[in-house]
Amino acid sequence: MKTIITEEMRFRQRIVEYAIKYNNNAKAARRYHTSRQQVWRWRKKYDGTVQSLANGSRRPHSHPNQHTQEELDLIRHKHRYHRHEGLAQVYRKSRDAGYRRTYDSMCRQIRKMKLNTPKKRKSYT
């Protein structure tokens, strides 16, 4: 993957090299009108290449509150046998079986799994 060298990254490189030359982050920060902490972070990232000073992804690595596979299987199972009684009954049966999330969360998962969509009927014409 090729990253484009931007003016911002070159600017950071100049700051870092100045800070390394004088071994003083505060002096570099004052000269280039940025914060000392930012210079410290850039120096920590810097490995001699301009690409090392590029911004990284801010995307989260995980979803800590994501439904587990057991919870999804439980919803699927209870929906299969109790959908004709309504979603409130599906939720009640799921709660009795150990589901501990909110009604809205269960409904969102049912929509996501497309369990509530009516099946297409064959037309005999």
Indicate the residue type of 4: I
What does DSSP assign to residue 24? -
With respect to residue 101, please indicate whether it lies within any of the assigned structural domains: yes
Both tokens of 12, joined, read 């950071």
Is 60 inside any structural domain? no
31: containing domain? 7-52
- Count: domains in the chain: 2
**pTM for the model:** 0.53
Which two three-digit tokens encode residue 95? 């709660």
Whether 14 and 32 have beta carbons less than 8 Å apart is answered as yes
**Assigned domain for 118 exists:** no
Instruction: Tell whether 106 is covered by a domain.
Output: yes
- The answer to whether position 122 is within a domain reads no
Q: What is the separation, in whole angstroms, between the first and last Cα of the chain?
A: 56
Instruction: Going residue by residue through the chain, which has 125 residues, state the pLDDT in tens, using 9 for 90 and above.
Output: 455 678 999 999 999 999 999 999 999 999 999 999 999 999 999 999 999 999 989 998 888 899 999 999 999 999 999 999 999 999 999 999 999 999 999 999 999 999 988 777 777 76
What one-letter code names the amino acid at 100?
R
